């Protein structure tokens, strides 16, 4: 229940008890209880006057006996409110309507039933839908910027976290974990003693206390592009795709082709509409916050322990547009190292292979393009538009502006910069697996050891795939049919072909998933046009890529298999897989079979999904390896956040991308490496196995996979571990 309602109920109840006591002599309630209620009432009133809302919340929550509504009651009340809206909301007649004609007044919203047929399926399902009149929809599109967004960035620092539902926003309900209705996970966090979660609280508070502001110059460029129709810097076209004209023919083949084109255009326009709404919401928040001195993003966790801003639209986890218009509210002088890091950051954002050069190579790239950088800053839309060639154009533009101002100042090293500079892990999931398995070969492939330039794991896998295919291409096709496929594909193997499969390998990508990923890449190139041949070639390429991955990351595959096998053993007993992260946060996998629950309302019969007691064994098994690694990367980020705060650094984090001021990048780099080593010096897999054995003493678990002899402390001297 909202705090304001709880306060009102508390004040009314305490006033009522006082009146009842005065009216009834010899009532059952003691004078002491009445006096205590009166004392609390005065205390709450005084605290409200002093705006000490956390203290008010604590008192009224303890006095609130209101029971939460059950799901059925919420559904019935919600449907009745929708029904009242439909009865009372009408479209006003157009302004140009003639006075002598009946007014065209019609309902703004209608309830109806529709049968929805999914692609590649013959039968459909019948759904109740609420449709708004086209005029209402047009009006909403024009006024999207005026929508009420409840969880806005805060203008004051968030309330510090002290419990499951105590922290973050002053008035809005705030929960430390997004459990999405998973009761067992919610109860596990609620039961956890507060002192056990102190590090998690501190990390979330650190992230929430980072102060941001809007980069007005970049926002101005975004607004100009959007006003002129979008279509630049990855912004969607503001206009719909026109529908093809219906051919004047009775030829069934031509009509089928036309219908297919119409469906394709409808799909494209739906996607454009969705993207336009998304941009409007982001810009609405940016415009509302642009004149503020600064603002804050309260953070909470997903069930694995990864941190996210609670405001959903304009935040630093978002798109290039979001990141481009955000900067730190606090500025810091660049210093010599900061000026270099700002130049390196620009090269990283430009990407296109530049981000794979050595740090010196990236510095040289930026210095060789200073004229383009100055032109981008001075005339972003009228000039050469060099910044639009970047992989992250709006962020690139922001750095162009910052770097231009610094270099034109009388002393670039004393120039105060507000720009967040990123340091990103290289294929971070595999970095965690290499550390878990002490895998020397894997560690070298993902930059856990020092090198003259960054190792590119995607190019490494592509090279191994190419070697295998060249050998296969020499074989006799009558004995080895894949030899023909190898000859076709040998000129198609590159970094891009295998990148998605390598990236998702740590998330347990299957052979079918890898096949579909590679098929999409091959289809884009148009070298193989026959659909069957494309499918067979994709099968062979996927099999070869997974073989190369298995060779290069044997330890990672062994750990994934071990984690999956443990999960299968536990889930087969109809129990969810649960563990405690290195920061002592309890995690319970939520995957259970969903049952149907019917509720009869005034509108229609609603079918709601509800968790059952049946565990989804396969889902528990396949999800456990990636979820476990995500809980580890979340722990590393939070450990780094706490240490950066203690060192006096401004810190923001996006899972495996850590941000600070340019002048502080060297300090942050030292801290994040130390925290990674500290994390993996703990016996993580041993502790996990021990917790499984304690929770399920009757079950037999496989032995831990063998580990290599990689020295974790090599990470401390690796310049490209995060870069």
pLDDT digits (tens, 9 = 90+) for 504-525: 877 777 888 899 999 888 888 8
Q: What is the mean pLDDT of the chain?
A: 89
Beta bridge partners of 650: none
Q: Is the pLDDT of residue 12 over 90?
A: no
Q: Average the pLDDT over 653-676 and give the result.
A: 96
DSSP 8-state code for residue 167: E
The residue whose two tokens read 């897989």 is 577
Confidence of residue 145 (pLDDT cuts 50, 70, 90): low
Angular region, 352: left φ>0, alpha ψ -120 to 50, beta rest: left
Q: Is the pLDDT of residue 93 over 80?
A: no
Cα–Cα distance between 557 and 563 in angstroms, integer? 10
- Examine the fold and report which residue of 499, 521, 552 is the final residue of a domain before the chain moves on: 552
β-pairing, 177-178 vs 299-302, is: parallel
DSSP 8-state code for residue 290: T
DSSP SS3 for 123: coil
Query: Which helix (DSSP H) or strand (DSSP E) does residue 287 occupy?
Result: helix 252-289
Q: Average the pLDDT over 263-267 and give the result.
A: 89
pLDDT of residue 46: 84
pLDDT of residue 150: 82
pLDDT digits (tens, 9 = 90+) for 327-374: 999 999 999 899 999 999 999 999 988 999 999 999 999 999 999 999
**Which tops the pLDDT comparison, 685 or 452?**
685
Catalytic annotation, pick one of 499, 519, 645, 675:
499
CA nearest to 68, candidates 220, 185, 186: 186
Q: Is the pLDDT of residue 576 over 70?
A: yes
- Examine the fold and report which residue of 525, 552, 579 is the final residue of a domain before the chain moves on: 552
Concerning whether 372 is annotated as a catalytic residue, the answer is no
| 485 and 521 fall within a common domain | yes
Cα–Cα distance between 147 and 141 in angstroms, integer? 10
Rg of the chain's alpha carbons, rounded to an integer?
Answer: 30
- The total number of structural domains that make up the chain: 4
pLDDT digits (tens, 9 = 90+) for 99-121: 566 667 889 999 999 888 876 67
Q: Is the pLDDT of residue 98 over 70?
A: no
pTM: 0.85
| 36 and 119 fall within a common domain | no
Q: Average the pLDDT over 155-160 and give the result.
A: 96
Cα–Cα distance between 262 and 268 in angstroms, integer? 10
pLDDT of residue 503: 83
Q: Say how far residue 722 (Cα) sits from the centre of its chain.
A: 20
- Examine the fold and report which residue of 417, 449, 476 is the final residue of a domain before the chain moves on: 417
Cα–Cα distance between 408 and 374 in angstroms, integer? 10
Half-sphere exposure of 161 (CA within 13 A, CB side): 27
**Which tops the pLDDT comparison, 17 or 609?**
609
Cα–Cα distance between 165 and 54 in angstroms, integer? 12
| 448 and 520 fall within a common domain | yes
Entry field: residues in the chain:
723
Share of the chain above pLDDT 90, in %: 60
pLDDT of residue 477: 86
| 497 and 448 fall within a common domain | yes
pLDDT of residue 30: 64
Q: Is the pLDDT of residue 22 over 60?
A: no
Concerning whether 656 is annotated as a catalytic residue, the answer is yes
Cα–Cα distance between 71 and 608 in angstroms, integer? 9
Q: Are 348 and 426 in contact (CB under 8 A)?
A: no
The residue whose two tokens read 């072909």 is 497
pLDDT of residue 119: 66
CATH number, domain of 533, equals 1.10.150.20
Q: Are 422 and 324 in contact (CB under 8 A)?
A: no
Query: Which helix (DSSP H) or strand (DSSP E) does residue 113 occupy?
Result: strand 109-116
Cα–Cα distance between 296 and 154 in angstroms, integer? 5
First to last CA, the chain: 46
Q: Is residue 473 part of a domain?
A: yes
Q: Is residue 667 part of a domain?
A: no
Q: Is residue 326 part of a domain?
A: no
CATH number, domain of 383, equals 1.10.287.280
Q: Is the pLDDT of residue 605 over 80?
A: yes
pLDDT of residue 418: 97
Q: Is residue 715 part of a domain?
A: no
Catalytic annotation, pick one of 439, 456, 482, 656:
656
**658 CB-near residues (< 8 Å, 6+ apart):** 422, 423, 424, 637, 640, 651, 652, 668, 672, 722
Q: Which of 52-66, 103-117, 290-304 has the highest mean pLDDT?
A: 290-304
Q: Average the pLDDT over 173-185 and give the result.
A: 90
| 545 and 453 fall within a common domain | yes
Q: Is residue 526 part of a domain?
A: yes
| 44 and 76 fall within a common domain | no
**648 CB-near residues (< 8 Å, 6+ apart):** none
Concerning whether 709 is annotated as a catalytic residue, the answer is no
| 37 and 76 fall within a common domain | no
Q: Is the pLDDT of residue 166 over 80?
A: yes
| Reduced 3-state DSSP string for 595-653 | EEEEEECCCCEEEEEEEEEEECHHHHHHHHHHHHHHHHHHHHHHHHHHHHHHCCCCCEE
pLDDT of residue 175: 94
pLDDT of residue 115: 87
Beta bridge partners of 132: 109
Confidence of residue 168 (pLDDT cuts 50, 70, 90): very high
Q: Average the pLDDT over 202-216 and give the result.
A: 97
**Which tops the pLDDT comparison, 150 or 145?**
150
pLDDT digits (tens, 9 = 90+) for 418-468: 999 999 998 899 999 999 999 998 899 899 999 888 988 888 899 999 999
Confidence of residue 251 (pLDDT cuts 50, 70, 90): confident
Residue 635: C-alpha distances to residues 26, 327, 548 (Å): 60, 25, 30
Confidence of residue 3 (pLDDT cuts 50, 70, 90): low
How many Cβ atoms sit within 10 Å of the Cβ of residue 195? 8
Residue 188: C-alpha distances to residues 113, 178, 303, 333, 679 (Å): 40, 13, 11, 45, 23
Q: Is residue 602 part of a domain?
A: no
Confidence of residue 404 (pLDDT cuts 50, 70, 90): very high
| 444 and 542 fall within a common domain | yes
Q: Average the pLDDT over 45-60 and give the result.
A: 77
| 468 and 492 fall within a common domain | yes
| 546 and 523 fall within a common domain | yes
Q: Is residue 20 part of a domain?
A: yes
Structure tokens at 495: 């970094």
| 452 and 513 fall within a common domain | yes
Q: Are 635 and 687 in contact (CB under 8 A)?
A: no
Residue 312: C-alpha distances to residues 216, 317, 322, 559 (Å): 21, 9, 11, 34
Q: Is residue 494 part of a domain?
A: yes
pLDDT of residue 99: 59
Structure tokens at 500: 């998605």
| 445 and 548 fall within a common domain | yes
Domain region containing 125: 71-93+105-142
Cα–Cα distance between 561 and 569 in angstroms, integer? 12
Catalytic annotation, pick one of 223, 240, 302, 424:
424
Q: Average the pLDDT over 518-542 and give the result.
A: 87
């Amino acid at each position: 229940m909202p705090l304001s309602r709880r306060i009102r109920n508390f004040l009314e109840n305490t006033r009522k008890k006082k009146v009842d006591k005065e009216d009834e002599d010899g009532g059952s309630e003691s004078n002491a209880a009445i006096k205590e209620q009166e004392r609390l009432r005065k205390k709450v009133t005084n605290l409200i006057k002093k705006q000490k809302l956390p203290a008010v919340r604590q008192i009224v929550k303890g006095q609130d006996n209101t029971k939460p509504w059950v799901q059925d009651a919420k559904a019935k009340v919600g449907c009745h409110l929708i029904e009242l809206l439909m009865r009372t909301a009408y479209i006003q007649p157009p302004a140009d309507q003639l006075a002598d004609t009946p007014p065209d007044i019609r309902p703004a919203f209608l309830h109806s039933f529709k049968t929805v047929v999914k692609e590649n399926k013959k039968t459909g399902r019948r759904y109740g839908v609420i449709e708004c009149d086209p005029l209402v929809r047009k009006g909403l599109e024009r006024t999207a910027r005026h929508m009420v967004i409840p969880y806005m960035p805060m203008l004051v620092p968030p309330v510090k976290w002290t419990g499951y539902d105590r922290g973050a926003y002053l008035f809005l309900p705030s929960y430390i974990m997004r459990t999405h209705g998973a009761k067992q996970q919610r109860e596990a966090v609620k039961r956890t003693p507060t002192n056990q979660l102190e590090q998690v609280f501190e990390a979330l508070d650190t992230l929430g206390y980072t102060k941001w502001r809007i980069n007005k110059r970049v926002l101005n460029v975004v607004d100009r592009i959007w006003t002129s129709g979008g279509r630049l810097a990855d912004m969607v076209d503001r206009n719909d795709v026109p529908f093809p004209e219906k051919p004047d023919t009775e030829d069934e083949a031509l009509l089928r082709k036309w219908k297919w084109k119409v469906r394709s255009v409808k799909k494209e326009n739906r996607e454009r509409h969705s993207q336009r709404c998304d941009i409007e919401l982001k810009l609405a928040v940016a415009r509302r916050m642009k004149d503020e001195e600064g603002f804050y993003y309260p953070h909470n966790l997903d069930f694995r322990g990864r941190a996210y801003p609670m405001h959903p639209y304009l935040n630093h986890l978002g798109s290039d547009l979001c990141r481009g218009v955000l900067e730190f509210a606090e500025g810091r002088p660049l210093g010599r190292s900061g000026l270099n890091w700002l130049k390196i950051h620009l090269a990283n954002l430009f990407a296109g292979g530049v981000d794979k050069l050595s740090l010196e190579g990236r510095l040289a790239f930026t210095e060789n393009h200073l004229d383009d950088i100055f032109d981008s800053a001075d005339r972003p839309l009228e000039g050469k538009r060099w910044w639009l060639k970047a992989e992250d154009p709006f962020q690139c533009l922001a750095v162009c502006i910052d770097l231009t101002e610094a270099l034109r100042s009388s002393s670039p090293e004393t120039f105060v910069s507000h720009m967040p500079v990123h340091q990103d892990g290289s294929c971070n999931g595999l970095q965690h697996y290499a550390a878990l398995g002490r895998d020397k070969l894997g560690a070298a492939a993902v930059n856990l050891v020092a090198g003259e330039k960054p190792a590119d794991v995607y190019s490494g896998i592509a090279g191994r795939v190419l070697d295998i295919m060249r050998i296969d291409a020499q074989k006799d096709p009558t004995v080895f049919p894949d030899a023909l496929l190898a000859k076709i594909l040998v000129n198609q193997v590159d970094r891009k072909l295998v990148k998605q499969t390598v990236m998702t390998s740590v998330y347990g990508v299957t052979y079918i998933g890898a096949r579909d990923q590679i098929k999409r890449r091959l289809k884009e190139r148009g070298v193989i046009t026959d659909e069957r041949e494309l499918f067979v070639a994709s099968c062979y390429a996927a099999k070869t890529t997974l073989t190369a991955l298995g060779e290069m990351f044997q330890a990672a595959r062994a750990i994934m298999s071990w984690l999956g096998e443990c999960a299968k053993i536990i889930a087969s007993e109809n129990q969810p897989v649960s563990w405690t992260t290195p920061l002592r946060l309890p995690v319970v996998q939520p995957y259970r079979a969903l049952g149907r629950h019917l509720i009869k309302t005034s509108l229609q019969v609603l079918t709601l999904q509800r968790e059952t007691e049946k565990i989804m064994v396969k889902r528990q098994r396949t999800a456990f390896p990636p979820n476990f690694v995500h809980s580890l990367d979340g722990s590393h980020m939070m450990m780094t956040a706490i240490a950066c705060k203690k060192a006096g650094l401004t810190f923001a984090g996006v899972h495996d991308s850590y941000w600070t001021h340019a002048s502080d990048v060297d300090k942050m780099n030292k801290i994040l490496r130390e925290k990674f080593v500290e994390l993996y010096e703990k016996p993580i897999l041993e502790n996990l196995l021990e917790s499984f054995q304690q929770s399920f003493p009757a079950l037999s678990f496989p032995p831990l996979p063998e580990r290599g002899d990689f020295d974790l402390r090599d990470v401390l001297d690796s310049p490209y571990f995060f870069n």
